[in-house]
Chain A
Amino acid sequence: MTTLTNPEVVQARQDRRLVLMLLAPALLVVGCLMIVPLCWLAWQSVRQDGGFSLIHYQRFFTDGIYLTAFGQTFRIAFTVTLIALLIGYPIACLAATVSRGWSMLILAAVLLPFWTSVLVRAYAWLILLQRKGLVNSLLMKLGLIDQPLILVNNEFGTVMATIHILLPFMVLPLYAAMQKIPTELIMAGASLGGRPGFVFRTVWLPLSVPGMVAGSALVFVLTLGFYITPELLGGGRAFMVSMLVARNIEVYNEWGAASSISIVLLACVLLIFRLASAIIPFERIMGTR
């Protein structure tokens, strides 16, 4: 009985209650806006004509378009992530190593397209890449090609515009990670006789891995659910999962089918992160342990 009246125990219990009360609004928001709709989605996906049914999941094995769409979506997401990393890494590198004024300018240039609507930028790419567009006419004038290249209404155009739209999501985490790298380490590496390339490989690159992982994960997941660019620039040749969902709702009014696709995509993403975290310890890399 002494422990119950012990002031320390009482204090700890009060603290715990306070923390729970303070957390309640946040938990409520997450619960209402995220968990409940997800559960509803899952529920919807196993219903057909008022009863339980797995017909929507069965379609994944019988309807070829489902597997094709998933395969193409993951392929596009992988390509976009890889190229965005290759373009974003040098940009973040330079932004993190120049003076403050210059780095602000570089980041502003990265963020400027971010302020224009995604739809507008997709149309801008359509203008640039179309058959008689700026890129084709420029290449023709230079005599590099004889007839217009097909740059849009295919996977190429989709990938190009998607990278353009998602590049800030790659550059910003990379920049944040690189900014934290102490310059003393680079100088120490150089003073110990390391050539710039060697210092970059052995000091800079490993320390920027958290940014690479964070940026790649962001871009990959965002591309998986991208809708505007494949719809506008894909021309039917870049058929992604988001379009499959949209078709099921718009054309067939099949909410169950659309829900099942979303659930499978979510499961795929979780599985990928699970597998990836077995190889790369996410918690340690992200510093959120």
Chain B
Amino acid sequence: MPHKVTPARIALIIFVALAMLWLMIPVLIIAPMSFSGARFLSFPPPS
């Protein structure tokens, strides 16, 4: 369906982009964490 670019539509896209980011961050953070040498959980990983 062709959508006119209305302010509401832009707001929707921004909201969804932020939500995607919120969904992704915990998953993305796991990768560097797995190389961490720290004994306790911390981010950014110290070594």
Contacts and interface: CB of A to CB of B under 8 A. Distances in A.
Given A93-B12, A132-B42, A124 B29 contact: yes
Given A90-B19, A133-B43, A124 B24 contact: no
Interface residues of B, number: 23
Interface string B4-35: 10101000110110011011111101100100
A125 interface: yes
A91 B17 CA distance: 9
Contacts of A203: none
Given A127-B41, A183-B1, A113 B23 contact: yes
A196 B8 contact: yes
Interface in A118-132: 120-121, 123-128, 130, 132
Contacts of A202: none
Contact of B27 (A112, A132, A197): A112
Contacts of A257: none
B3 interface: yes
A196 B23 CA distance: 29
Given A87-B19, A90-B15, A94-B13, A128 B26 contact: yes
A113 B41 contact: no
A53 interface: no
Given A124-B33, A186-B1, A197-B8, A109 B24 contact: yes
Contacts of A253: none
- Dominant SS among interface residues on chain B: helix
Contacts of A133: 42-43
Interface string A61-96: 000000000000000000000000001001101100
Given A94-B12, A196-B6, A124 B27 contact: yes
A164 B19 contact: no
Contacts of A90: 12, 15-16, 19
A113 B26 contact: yes
B25 to A, nearest CB: 7
A134 interface: yes
Nearest to A105: B20
Interface in A204-228: none
Nearest to A197: B8
Contacts of A106: 16, 20
A116 interface: yes
Interface of A: 87, 90-91, 93-94, 97, 106, 109-110, 112-113, 116, 120-121, 123-128, 130, 132-134, 164, 167, 183, 186-187, 196-197
5 contacts: A90-B19, A94-B16, A106-B16, A127-B29, A128-B29
